[in-house]
């Protein structure tokens, strides 16, 4: 009986590489070209900032300019947003975005000096469940 395992393994490996080549041809957008921040719009709310995937970004009215006051448990519900400063900013002035250092030593992106956050209950692009919570969390208006 002839051993077909080496032939099968070779075909499997070739198929794996062929799939990768085909997928790279089908997906033309490079990660470098994907926006780090973009403007979204929703009826009744108007325009607001979102990350490159369309997930809403929020500001905390109890923050100070260039300083986050949302730490520990707060940051669990409102995860800090960070994007590389060289990321594409779509529809806004790149100069309006800076990085700050949080009390935990991690970086966070700020818009016009105000730190940006996600809301943990926003699961899909264009979700805006965090807007107005506690009258201190708001979508970021460009």
Note the pTM of the prediction, 2 decimals.
0.76
Q: Are 141 and 58 in contact (CB under 8 A)?
A: no
CB neighbours (10 Å) of residue 113? 13
pLDDT at 10: 43
List the chain pLDDT tens, one digit each, 142 residues: 555 556 554 444 444 444 444 334 444 444 456 789 999 999 999 999 999 999 999 999 999 999 999 999 999 999 999 998 888 889 989 999 999 999 999 999 999 999 999 999 999 999 999 999 999 999 999 9
Beta strand 88-90 with 35-42: parallel, antiparallel or unpaired?
parallel
pLDDT at 101: 97
pLDDT at 33: 61
Nearest C-alpha neighbor of 51 from the set 20, 96, 84: 84
CB burial string 49-66: b at 16+ within 10 A, e below: bbbbeebbbbbbeebeee
pLDDT at 75: 97
Length of the chain: 142
pLDDT at 109: 97
- Cα of first residue to Cα of last residue in the chain, in angstroms, is 71
pLDDT at 32: 52
List, in order, residues 6 or more apart from 106 with CB less than 8 Å away.
Answer: 80, 82
């Amino acid at each position: 009986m002839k051993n077909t395992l080496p032939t099968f393994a070779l075909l499997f490996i070739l198929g794996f590489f062929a799939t990768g080549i085909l997928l790279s041809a089908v997906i033309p957008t490079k990660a470098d070209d994907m926006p780090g921040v973009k403007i979204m719009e929703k009826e009744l709310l108007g325009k607001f900032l979102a990350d490159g995937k369309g997930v809403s970004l929020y500001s905390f009215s109890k923050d100070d300019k260039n300083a986050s006051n949302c730490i520990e448990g707060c940051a669990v519900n409102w995860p800090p947003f960070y994007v590389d400063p060289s990321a594409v900013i779509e529809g806004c002035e790149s100069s309006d975005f800076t990085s700050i250092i949080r009390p935990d030593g991690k970086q966070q992106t700020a818009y016009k000096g105000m730190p940006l956050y996600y809301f943990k209950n926003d699961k899909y692009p264009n979700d805006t469940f965090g807007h107005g919570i506690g009258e201190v969390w708001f979508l970021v208006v460009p």
